[in-house]
Chains A and B, each alone.
Chain A
């Protein structure tokens, strides 16, 4: 089967084709555009096998319901006497929107946070508006300083690294924990779920919370100081986790989550509108996933999303293959988005073209937080025992 844009460029700019043979998994739609994929003799990829193991290890329905009950109980207890018992991030996309609905269904009282990075689409803001007013939640918007955010995004483009969503994803999490800490909220609800996003190859993204990498890229390619960054590096994580005792709860993992049923429900009950593409709630994300990833990195993320849906039994492989026959999104719109993204980021047309066609770099080329993490875990190992012992003496 021929798949457009399935060839991957290595760092030297050579086309890499998975050892010369292009192969598609016979159970999912993952293929050799993922450099780490392996196949068994029947042509079934490692992902299918891993998913079977994952599924086998899943708790029974009763056990899951029990976990849900204790989780809800703990969240509610932590919020007794307060206006909110948790905070949740709402982008207007299906996962976070459904999470907001599920929270209401179970009697939680979340403060809804929206992270505005300057790329909101009208669809996103109107979905947020409908859900927040429909569910009777309070909304707090973390409006990221646009000039500063733009500078970070420009730096990532100039660095020519793979994961241009790191700045947004990092800061959303950072903003969530900051707001939770400020308001004395102990739980952050997370929309992470295996129903729609179990499968994401390691080579197709970078760790979102590596603050060292983010800062290094910005230091090298940015033009202005970072002052308002809601950072969430290792030390901040330790602080929020150990000192402020803020936990995360992945509520969608504890309920049945069927994407198309959720989409229908949100549309009927709230007038919510579908994006027609995962994470197309922002022009930037649409352009990144639909243009940059396929054209610059040979990655079509839809393959992972669709494979997740196949694995969790929500669509058939045939449906997924049919969808992959379509271009990531309308080609005229791609051109429009490209001009808009360039203009908004302050690149001239030729500058942007040059940035997009320069050789790719690994995130690791600019430095990582691995040393920090090693240090931290070593310290935990060394002092963890004595600290626990001291605590036990105190009773």
Chain B
């Protein structure tokens, strides 16, 4: 049986509060991130993605002591993203105990940081998050401020470039699907996954366990991440941390991957 990584994505605002967004906009307060991490520990989650969604916008550094607090409570490896612009910051973050850095806006200034981080820490420790949105008249583009170089290269082209520079993994986050529970944007994921030979992680839109299967089988991804699905109760929108059991993952996802 083939298994894939199923990763909760936790969004942190400027005050270190756990939030969940809809289409990168409207925010709902989810509670104390430390407690959420403790619950994920008990639920035996294999890894977490932690994104500080205000750091870049506020032009500040990652909140190192906060990251350290989270890491010290977490039993699982953590990938951190948000506000990373330099090698010094990356070094400090690894010092906090994170496993991978997630670069996003930094890529808008070229792939230099990706390259240097990959040289120093290895590709497996460098994730690039592509924030992909639909164009008004069809097609896709990267969200403003996250596309490298002049003009606006397509997400696929950017994916190729960052992988060439050394990114070991792509977190492909659909802006339009974020928080909507409308399912992953499978054609978009497929286009990117087909263009690169590193793991692609689907993110944005997961509503049910079957979406993970779809991300792999139809989207060509090798892992899937989700936010809403793991912080809201399934049938209503009450905040409640959840994660499927290994049995559920096996019967509803892994066994149906072929």
Contacts from A to B (Cβ < 8 Å): 112, 114, 116, 118-123, 125-126, 128-129, 132-133, 136-141, 143, 145-147, 344
Contacts from B to A (Cβ < 8 Å): 15, 17, 29-32, 34-35, 38-39, 41-43, 233-242
Name which residue of chain A comes closest to B34, CB basis.
A344
Q: Which residues of A contact B17 (CB under 8 A)?
A: 146-147
A125-B240, A125-B241, A128-B240 given; A143·B235 CB < 8 A: no
Question: Closest CB of chain A to B209's CB: distance in Å?
Answer: 13
Q: How far is the CA of A114 from the CA of B240 in the complex (A)?
A: 9
Name which residue of chain A comes closest to B30, CB basis.
A143
- The answer to whether B29 and A141 have CB atoms under 8 Å apart is no
- The answer to whether B43 and A122 have CB atoms under 8 Å apart is yes
Q: Which residues of B contact A119 (CB under 8 A)?
A: 35
Q: Which residues of B contact A147 (CB under 8 A)?
A: 15, 17
Contact of A121 among B15, B31, B39, B234 (CB under 8 A): B39
Question: Closest CB of chain A to B81's CB: distance in Å?
Answer: 22
Interface contacts (Cβ under 8 Å), in number, total: 73
Q: Which residues of B contact A137 (CB under 8 A)?
A: 236
- The answer to whether B39 and A141 have CB atoms under 8 Å apart is no
- The answer to whether A140 and B238 have CB atoms under 8 Å apart is yes
Name which residue of chain A comes closest to B236, CB basis.
A138
- The answer to whether B43 and A141 have CB atoms under 8 Å apart is no
Question: Closest CB of chain B to A81's CB: distance in Å?
Answer: 20
Q: Which 4 A-B pairs have the closest CB atoms?
A: A139-B238, A122-B42, A141-B239, A118-B32
Q: How far is the CA of A125 from the CA of B41 in the complex (A)?
A: 13
Q: Which residues of B contact A123 (CB under 8 A)?
A: 42
- The answer to whether B35 and A120 have CB atoms under 8 Å apart is yes
Q: Which residues of B contact A125 (CB under 8 A)?
A: 39, 240-242
Q: How far is the CA of A122 from the CA of B235 in the complex (A)?
A: 19
Contact of A118 among B31, B235, B242 (CB under 8 A): B31
16 CB-based A-B contacts, threshold 8 Å: A114-B239, A118-B31, A118-B32, A122-B38, A125-B39, A126-B43, A128-B240, A129-B234, A132-B240, A133-B234, A140-B236, A140-B237, A141-B233, A145-B29, A146-B31, A344-B35
Q: Which residues of B contact A140 (CB under 8 A)?
A: 236-238
Q: How far is the CA of A119 from the CA of B39 in the complex (A)?
A: 10
- The answer to whether B238 and A141 have CB atoms under 8 Å apart is yes
Question: Closest CB of chain A to B240's CB: distance in Å?
Answer: 5
In the complex, given contacts A122-B41, A138-B235, what are 20 additional A-B residue pairs having Cβ atoms less than 8 angstroms apart? A116-B31, A121-B42, A126-B43, A126-B242, A128-B240, A129-B233, A132-B233, A132-B238, A133-B234, A133-B235, A136-B235, A139-B233, A139-B235, A139-B240, A140-B236, A140-B238, A141-B238, A143-B31, A147-B17, A344-B32
A143-B29, A146-B17, A344-B34 given; A116·B39 CB < 8 A: no
Contact of B238 among A114, A118, A136 (CB under 8 A): A114
